[in-house]
Amino acid sequence: MHINELIEKKKHGEALTEKEIQDWIEAYVQGEVPDYQVSALLMAIYFQGLDDQETYFLTKALLESGDQVDLGEIKKKKVDKHSTGGVGDTISLVLGPLLAARGLAFAKMSGRGLGHTGGTLDKLEAIDGFSVEESKEDFIDQVNRIGLAIVGQTANITPGDKKLYSLRDATETVDQSSLIAASIISKKMAIESDALILDVKMGEGAFMKNLEEAQELAEKLVDLGGKFGRKVMAVISSMEEPLSKAIGNLIEVQEAIKVLQGKGSEDLRDLALSLGAKLLVLTGEEEDEDRARQELLGEITSGHALEKFAAMVKAQGGQLTPEEILEKSLSPKIYTIRAREDGWLEKIHALSLGEGARRLGAGRLSMEDVIDPGAGLYLHKKVGDPVKKGEPILDLYGKNVEDLEDVIQDLEGALAYSKSPVEKPTLIYREVKA
Ligand code: URA
Ligand code: CA
């Protein structure tokens, strides 16, 4: 394969063959093709696109660039979920315990925060002693015992995607639906599961800014998953405002615990119940989604889901009970943004809040940065809520924050008010099935 020929073909909008794509990824992972040529190919793909066949070939090549994790020793039905990334998206910490309580296996390999979006591993590490590193044997044993484990990726999973993703990040070629779909599905197919739900985030705080783009990505994801023989469906959910009222690490873990206690952010609870109910139907455990939802709600009311969360924390070395995690102090509350006027909260710009939390110390600006687990934001109100002038809207937590005035100003700018009632945003716009 000569990469120049691939660039030339794609430049003119011709389709690449399976062998060409396979050779390209193999050579790139081996370091036999330079970044500048792959950059040119990516930009050609960005403008010309990949057809369904090419997207499948790319996914397969990325998947086969690394190891695949066989979870055959897990006897319960294995369910998995993936979100395209958002702000205050604490779903895994609620959904995992719910599904484990219902008797399924939630054996999750999660990631770290990226840009303005949070990462489940960073959140869990806010619990003293919690380890996201486990041997495969311990991981499987834990899932067999309690139905729940959330760890980082240890195996050499999709090195091709890792390399390509960094290059896409540096060449502004991330937001192309075939490239995103291949990247996500290659990673998910590397880990065995009986059913997978993909939560495609749409809105200002997400990669996909409108319904058309989100629909296109959702269809590609479902189509690709199906080609690998996986039971998969997608939902398109809102990321106009943050999902949870809490944004950060410890603060999001605390919010997840509150939801598991039957309190806390309603949107976080509702989306977790919806995704869980859809997964129960997808695996064939339940026939009716409403009934499945009621069952999962029962796992909250009975305290069973919270027990699963506590068991996971203990199994992974965490030294605190859920009650102790709730009592743990956040970083100092350094400012409270109050309502500017009487009326209704009209907008909470998710991207700006994610960025704000990051600048308070909840995320990284470079990969070497150390996170402040106690930093973050807490929203007292969400879009559609009535507000009174002077009422607290957003609390800021952090230590030694640089440019605090600037951060406050940006966060003030992220909130908009209306004199007339505002409708609550839709949580799930659509679902896409095979
Ligand atoms: N998430 C991924 O894993 N890959 C992408 O390309 C975009 C979002
Ligand atoms: Ca139960």
Report how far residue 225's alpha carbon sits from residue 67's, in angstroms, rounded to the nearest whole number: 18
How many CB atoms are located within 10 Å of the residue 385 CB?
A: 14
Q: Which of 80, 122, 161, 267 is catalytic?
A: 161
- Active-site residue, 168 included: yes
CA of 299 to the centre of ligand 2 (A): 6
Note the pLDDT tens digit of each residue in 175-233: 899 999 999 999 999 999 999 999 999 998 788 889 999 999 999 999 999 999 999 99
pLDDT-derived band at 322, boundaries 50, 70, 90: very high
- Active-site residue, 145 included: no
Report how far residue 347's alpha carbon sits from residue 342's, in angstroms, rounded to the nearest whole number: 15
CA of 180 to the centre of ligand 1 (A): 5
Q: Is the pLDDT of residue 1 over 80?
A: no
Contact 248, 87 (CB under 8 A): no
pLDDT-derived band at 433, boundaries 50, 70, 90: very high
Q: Which ligand is nearest to the CA of 300?
A: 2
Report how far residue 410's alpha carbon sits from residue 357's, in angstroms, rounded to the nearest whole number: 11
Report how far residue 256's alpha carbon sits from residue 270's, in angstroms, rounded to the nearest whole number: 12
Residue 200 phi, psi (nearest 5) = -85, 115
Q: Which ligand is nearest to the CA of 200?
A: 1
CA of 101 to the centre of ligand 2 (A): 5
For 285-313, what is the mean pLDDT? Answer: 98
CA of 305 to the centre of ligand 2 (A): 8
Testing ligand 1's pocket by substitution, the residue of 168, 184, 202 carrying the most ligand atoms inside 8 A of its CB is: 184
How many CB atoms are located within 10 Å of the residue 75 CB?
A: 10
What letter does residue 369 receive in the DSSP assignment? P
Q: What is the pLDDT of residue 170?
A: 85
If 0-12 CB within 10 Å is exposed, 13-18 middle and 19+ buried, where does residue 377 land? buried
If 0-12 CB within 10 Å is exposed, 13-18 middle and 19+ buried, where does residue 137 land? exposed
Q: Is the pLDDT of residue 174 over 90?
A: no
Q: What is the pLDDT of residue 219?
A: 97
Q: What is the pLDDT of residue 367?
A: 66
CA end-to-end distance (rounded Å), the chain: 35
What letter does residue 158 receive in the DSSP assignment? -
- Active-site residue, 52 included: no
Note the pLDDT tens digit of each residue in 257-277: 999 999 999 999 999 999 999
Q: What is the pLDDT of residue 115?
A: 67
Q: Using DSSP, state whether 354 is helix, strand or coil.
A: helix
Give me Rg for the CA atoms of the chain: 22
Testing ligand 1's pocket by substitution, the residue of 50, 58, 84 carrying the most ligand atoms inside 8 A of its CB is: 84
